[in-house]
Amino acid sequence: MELGSRWDRFRRSEAASGYMLVSPTALYAILLLAAPLGTIILYSFLTDGYLEIVRTFTLANYHEAWTNELYRTVMLRSLGVSMAVTLVTVVLAFPVAYFVSFHVDPSRKSLWLFLITIPFWTSYLIRVFLWKVILGFNGVVNSGLMGLGIIDEPLTFILYNVNAVVITLAHAYAPFAILPIFVALEKIDRSLLEAGQDLGESRFMTFLRVTLPLAMPGVIASVLIVFIPTIGDYVTPQLVGGPEGRMVANLIQLQYLKLDNYPLGSAIAVSAMGIVTVVSLLFLFLNRRYLKGPKS
Amino acid sequence: MTVEKPTMIEFRDVHKYYGDYHALRGITAKIRAGEFFSLLGPSGCGKTTLLRTIAGFEGISSGAVMIDGKHMEGVPANKRPTNMVFQSYAIFPHLTVAQNVGFGLRRANLAKDELARRVGEALEMVGLKGYGARAAHALSGGQRQRVALARALILKPKVLLLDEPLSALDKKMREQMQVELIKLQRQVGITFILVTHDQEEALVMSDRIAVMFEGEIAQLADPETLYRRPNSKKVADFIGTMNFLPAEILSEGPGGIEIEAQGLGRVTLAPDQAPGAASGQGATVGFRPETLTILFEGQPTAERESMGTIEEVVYYGDMTYYDVRLDGTASPTRISMRNVFGRPVLDIGARARIAWSAGALVLFR
């Protein structure tokens, strides 16, 4: 009786409806995110046998992942590529977001945002292939430049290397970077910019002292949104990266699918996750003063 | 002390268009140095636009704005000797109170302790001593406004512009800030220009007031003149309460204007009692509610008296407002009476003797 009435009360409480609302997502996340993640972490401590996984606990996989020169090089390259992609994407996204927020007529803003998302209408794979067409040996860029007589023979440094990966990923992630910055800029009270000028600062100095610091939460969000997924991207390096453009995800894929070494693949994956987490937290820590603003 | 103060701001036939919309229609006025000047008018009358043309946030379509004798055309906001207190206060949310106040001093390249000293002085002036380290977003409305004031005044501008600075505060706070602003203005001696839609605020605070309607200055005068001798029915109606009664002009000469007003009878007015230009809409005589007095029993007869019937009584504690229909008039006249202890409040329907004086009348024609 006591339990029954308590259950009744819980059923009608706000907490109950909260749990009800999150439960499908929570279930989904547990089954499809937490469970596989746990399996991968478990695998990374097991030993690889022939056609099977031996259930003996070992740290050998991590030792291999962290000491092998190849893995280290690829990991560092992945970090470098992601950072370059992040830098290029955010630096190019900021002016776009700024333009839409400050110079587009308010009634046209949603149209602009809609146009910015147009690249999503085509599949990611097709977009990557298109970059191959653009950057290729006989591609748009090379034939264009040759047709104009600027170069005599096709440029080879634009495809099948790290540059191509950076260009392709920067393009793919541009909308993800533009939107958070746009939102942060939209929230800035325009009278603050007038106040900056009223207090004697030029437009440029007002931008540096008022607009930019207030847009930083958006910039930080953009950096994380671009940096975290790009480090694990494997389609783009596979298609346009060439041998020297391989990234850590390609290595993990290799371990899993070609070499059938699940434990080592898992150890590399977990290590990569750890590195991304550490780098991201470090970045957040360095920018913490921009993130503690008012809750409003 | 009768020497006219020099002009600080001059508008010369200023026009401003937004597309087809004519926001400022030929503003010509002079604002004196060290004056507390108000731009008063209903929303949409152009008062904020006019203020922003001084600050440099708004260009003008034709005419000229001069500050301290210098043409301001092409001078950007950051190069003008004006500072502004914004309606929203525009406190930088990412900075502390002290950083906000010291924002404009970056270009002065002061030593650290000198900067801190001046910021401290400015904060003390507005009553926020010791608040420097607070985060700006943790302040109340009144405190934000003080920060905005300190931030503007620390730069020692020639003109301080205030864009409805008190409208976001509650009544008590507003009245307190009105007094503080007046004191502050006397203390620093800077020309203050206040934009407000609150006529009471303008009357309380200003040395002179420009009343604006639809992009034009309807009347520019000191508060007392504005209240006692409004130059049009519109101004009279906007500032305080004014009773209007139809009148007829009988004769006009150098000695005065003789009129016959409904409910009041034949009166001769001095020439200054008709300050407005003729509008051709017929004559009306106006008078304030407090210029009439209800005579209670036993009070002596006044020089000018009319009879009326009380139609409405509104009791305010210290005051009672009576709506009285004067005999021979079509609409009630409002009379405000200070309540005196021991004197009864009259009832609706009672007959009353009303005393008035010819000098309080204003003629509109």
DSSP code per residue over B5-64? PPEEEEEEEEEEEETTEEEEEEEEEEEETT-EEEEE--TTSSHHHHHHHHHTSS--SEEE
The per-residue pLDDT for A243 is 81
CA–CA distance, B157 with B153 (Å, rounded to integer): 7
Domain residue ranges in chain A: 76-291
Residue of B103, B155, B161 best to disrupt the A interface, most CBs of A under 10 A: B103
Token code pair at residue A100: 């839409």
Cβ-Cβ contacts under 8 Å, B151 against chain A: 199
User: Which residues, at least 6 apart from B9, have a Cβ–Cβ distance to it below 8 Å?
Assistant: B30, B31, B54, B65, B66, B67, B68, B159, B191, B193
CA–CA distance, B69 with B3 (Å, rounded to integer): 19
CB nearest to B90's CB, from A189, A200, A214: A189
Token code pair at residue A111: 């149209």
Contact B246, B331 (CB under 8 A): no
CB nearest to B94's CB, from A195, A214, A296: A214
According to DSSP, residue B259 is labeled: E
According to DSSP, residue B135 is labeled: B
Each residue of B186-207: pLDDT tens digit?
999 999 999 999 999 999 999 9
The amino acid occupying position A27 is L
Contact state of B78 with A293 under an 8 Å Cβ cutoff: no
CA–CA distance, A46 with A39 (Å, rounded to integer): 11
Residues of chain B with pLDDT under 50: 1
Cβ-Cβ contacts under 8 Å, B55 against chain A: 194, 198
User: H-type helices in chain B, by residue range?
Assistant: 47-55, 97-101, 112-125, 141-153, 171-188, 199-205, 223-228, 233-238
Half-sphere exposure of B19 (CA within 13 A, CB side): 1
Superfamily of domain B241-365: Nucleic acid-binding proteins (2.40.50.140)
CA–CA distance, B276 with B280 (Å, rounded to integer): 11
According to DSSP, residue A31 is labeled: I
Contact state of A210 with B104 under an 8 Å Cβ cutoff: no
Q: Which chain A residue shows the shortest CA-CA distance from B154?
A: A199
Tell the residue number behind the tokens 């809409």, with chain if given.
Answer: B281
CA–CA distance, B344 with B334 (Å, rounded to integer): 18
How long a stretch of residues is chain B? 365
Residue of A197, A199, A205 best to disrupt the B interface, most CBs of B under 10 A: A199
User: Which residues, at least 6 apart from A37, have a Cβ–Cβ distance to it below 8 Å?
Assistant: none
Touching check for B110 and chain A: CB below 8 Å?
no
User: Which residues, at least 6 apart from A117, have a Cβ–Cβ distance to it below 8 Å?
Assistant: A175
Closest CA to B239 of B214, B209, B216: B209
The per-residue pLDDT for A150 is 85
Contact A169, A238 (CB under 8 A): no
Structure ipTM over 0.90, yes or no:
no
Q: Which chain A residue shows the shortest CA-CA distance from B163?
A: A191
Three-state SS at A32: helix
The residues of A whose Cβ lies within 8 A of any Cβ of B are 189, 191-192, 194-202, 209-210, 213-214, 290, 293-294, 296
B362-to-A82, A263, B76, B272, B326 alpha-carbon distances in Å: 80, 99, 45, 9, 18
The per-residue pLDDT for A296 is 41
Token code pair at residue B118: 């001046």
CA–CA distance, B235 with B364 (Å, rounded to integer): 11
User: How many Å is the Cα radius of gyration of chain B?
Assistant: 25
CB nearest to B151's CB, from A199, A213, A293: A199
| Long-range interactions of B126-132: CB distance < 8 A, separation 24+ | B126/B150, B126/B153, B126/B184, B127/B180, B128/B97, B131/B97, B132/B96, B132/B97, B132/B98, B132/B101
Domain residue ranges in chain B: 7-228, 241-365
pLDDT tens for each residue of chain A, 296 residues long: 567 788 888 777 888 888 888 888 889 888 898 899 999 999 999 888 777 778 888 888 899 889 988 899 999 999 999 999 999 999 999 999 999 999 999 999 999 999 988 878 888 888 888 888 888 888 888 888 888 888 888 888 778 888 888 989 998 899 999 999 999 999 999 999 999 999 999 999 999 999 999 999 999 999 999 999 998 888 888 888 888 888 888 889 888 888 888 899 999 999 999 999 999 999 999 988 887 755 44
Closest CA to B236 of B199, B278, B283: B199
Residues A223-261 as b/e (b if ≥16 CB within 10 A, e otherwise) read bbbbbbbbbbbbbbbbbbbeeebbbbbbbbebbbeeeeb
Contact B115, B139 (CB under 8 A): no
Strands B191-196 and B159-163: parallel
Phi, psi of A174 (to 5 degrees): -50, -50
Across chain A, the runs of DSSP E, i.e. the strands, are 47-48, 53-54
Contact state of A294 with B93 under an 8 Å Cβ cutoff: yes
Residue of A185, A191, A193, A198 best to disrupt the B interface, most CBs of B under 10 A: A198
The correct CATH number of A76-291 out of 1.20.140.10, 1.10.1060.10, 1.10.510.10, 1.10.3720.10 is 1.10.3720.10
What CATH number should be reported for the domain whose range is B7-228?
A: 3.40.50.300
The per-residue pLDDT for A140 is 85
Contact B356, B263 (CB under 8 A): no
